[in-house]
């Protein structure tokens, strides 16, 4: 994003809700002696590299397939080193608070309308302007079927939001652990891709550091929280705290070291302003990914025009991002979104006595989006997370 002035950068940050309106983006130093951009998942990465190099991953995938629920026993027959890792990693951290996780689940259920919208159209499209993420997703094996890949990525947030996600009968702990295995495999595989190597700028040439995972967390949890605040969606302090707690547990399960995980929303906002906003930029891979994502939504009748969809993305993310992705303007739709969406929220939340114009249109749009994501994406009952054994061929 070298061509963006500090002013543009700040207005982008404000638009995304990641910088306070004063424009002050507080710096947050990494804890002394530790740098999340130089932290990966060393032990697991080593185990996974050996499994890939010795051709054991297809058998591991077969063994892992029936392992789905949090209370399922670990599959038998896994290579010892992997079984040892999972025995240790497949548990909530000691600091996890089940009461908070239950409150977060209830909050997610009550606010699911906005969450669909924000994870799907906000975080999902934002991931395409996070260059490292876009490039690694594009050049990994899954990049060859981008719609499937994209759907999986942007619904992770939704999977996390399932009512029983962290309960014994839920599936999120296992899903997160499988995702951690996939990321470990990607760290070994992508550096072997000439295409990825030609465009990568990662430290040490290894993708998906703890820092990168935090960036993605900010594009999901931190972004969504900021937008809910900005849109004046009623939330109690306990609910906001529970929502953060849920995300803290999630990124712990993905292998981020506890010392790097922000402890408050203020710390998360500050870290996002430092590590996410300044790196947002268009890329060839990101544009392709965005095209596929928005193409996904174009496949069904959302009850709105493509111009409306483009303007909604611009409204949720920013005009700068809309321009990077070449989203065609529709000024009438833009005006409708700007006035209609806040009124829609206010009416839904019981803060507006009269049903606003366009209420049904917004409602239909959201319902159609929810159906689309649920049908296309990895709902917890259908998720099959498979460890890749190669990269996108070209």
Chain positions contacting ligand HEM, by CB under 6 A = 132-133, 136-137, 140-142, 152-153, 156, 179, 182-183, 186, 207-208, 212-213, 216-217, 220, 251, 254, 385, 388
* CB of residue 229 to ligand HEM, shortest distance in Å: 20
3-state secondary structure 89-105: HCCCCCCCCHHHHHHHH
CA–CA dist 391, 143 (Å, integer): 8
For ligand HEM, give the closer residue by CB, 182 or 321.
182
Tokens found for residue 49: 């590299």
For ligand HEM, give the closer residue by CB, 64 or 385.
385
For ligand HEM, give the closer residue by CB, 51 or 334.
51
* CB of residue 394 to ligand HEM, shortest distance in Å: 14
* CB of residue 305 to ligand HEM, shortest distance in Å: 31
* CB of residue 136 to ligand HEM, shortest distance in Å: 4
* CB of residue 214 to ligand HEM, shortest distance in Å: 8
Tokens found for residue 295: 């193409």
* CB of residue 114 to ligand HEM, shortest distance in Å: 19
* CB of residue 275 to ligand HEM, shortest distance in Å: 11
For ligand HEM, give the closer residue by CB, 36 or 334.
36
CA–CA dist 86, 114 (Å, integer): 34
- Answer yes or no: are the C-beta atoms of 133 and 186 closer than 8 Å: no
**Of 252, 231, 228, 251, the residue nearest 240 (C-alpha):** 228
Cβ count within 10 A of residue 281: 16
**Residue with the shortest CB distance to ligand HEM:** 142
Tokens found for residue 133: 């993420």
Residue 56 CB partners (closer than 8 Å, separation 6+): 79
For ligand HEM, give the closer residue by CB, 107 or 156.
156
3-state secondary structure 367-393: HHHHHHHHHHCCCCCCCCCCCCCCECC
For ligand HEM, give the closer residue by CB, 100 or 180.
180
Q: ∠229-257-89 over CA atoms, to 5°?
A: 110
DSSP single-letter state for residue 207: -
Given the structure tokens 């994501």, which residue do they identify?
A: 373
For ligand HEM, give the closer residue by CB, 50 or 203.
203
């Amino acid at each position: 994003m070298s061509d963006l002035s500090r002013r543009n950068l700040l207005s982008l940050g404000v638009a995304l809700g990641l910088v306070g309106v004063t424009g002050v983006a507080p710096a947050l130093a990494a804890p002394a002696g530790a740098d999340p951009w130089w932290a990966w998942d060393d032990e697991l990465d080593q185990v996974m590299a050996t499994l890939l190099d010795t051709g054991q991953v297809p058998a591991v995938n077969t063994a892992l397939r029936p392992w789905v629920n949090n209370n399922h026993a670990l599959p038998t027959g896994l290579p010892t080193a992997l079984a040892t890792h999972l025995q240790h990693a497949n548990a909530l951290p000691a600091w996890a608070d089940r009461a908070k996780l239950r409150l977060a689940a209830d909050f997610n259920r009550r606010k699911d309308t906005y969450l669909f919208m924000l994870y799907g159209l906000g975080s999902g499209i934002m991931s395409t302007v996070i260059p490292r993420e876009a490039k690694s997703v594009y050049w990994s094996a899954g990049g060859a079927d981008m719609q499937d890949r994209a759907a999986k990525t942007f619904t992770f947030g939704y999977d996390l939001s399932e009512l029983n996600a962290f309960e014994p009968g839920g599936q999120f702990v296992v899903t997160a652990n499988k995702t951690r295995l996939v990321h470990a495999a990607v760290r070994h595989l992508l550096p072997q891709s000439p295409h990825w190597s030609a465009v990568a700028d990662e430290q040490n040439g290894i993708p998906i550091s703890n820092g990168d995972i935090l960036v993605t967390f900010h594009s999901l949890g931190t972004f969504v929280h900021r937008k809910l605040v900005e849109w004046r969606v009623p939330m109690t302090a306990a609910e906001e705290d529970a929502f953060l707690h849920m995300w803290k547990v999630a990124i712990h399960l993905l292998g981020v070291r506890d010392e790097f995980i922000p402890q408050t929303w203020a710390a998360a906002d500050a870290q996002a302003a430092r590590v996410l906003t300044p790196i947002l930029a268009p890329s060839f891979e990101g544009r392709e990914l965005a095209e596929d994502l928005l193409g996904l939504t174009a496949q069904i009748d959302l009850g709105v025009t493509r111009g409306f969809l483009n303007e909604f993305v611009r409204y949720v993310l920013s005009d700068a991002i809309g321009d990077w992705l070449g989203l065609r303007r529709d000024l009438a739709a833009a005006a409708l979104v700007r006035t209609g969406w806040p009124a829609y929220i206010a009416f839904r939340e019981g803060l507006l006595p009269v049903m606003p114009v366009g209420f049904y249109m917004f409602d239909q749009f959201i319902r159609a989006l929810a159906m689309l994501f649920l049908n296309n994406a990895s709902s917890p009952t259908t998720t099959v997370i498979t460890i890749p054994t190669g990269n996108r061929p070209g």
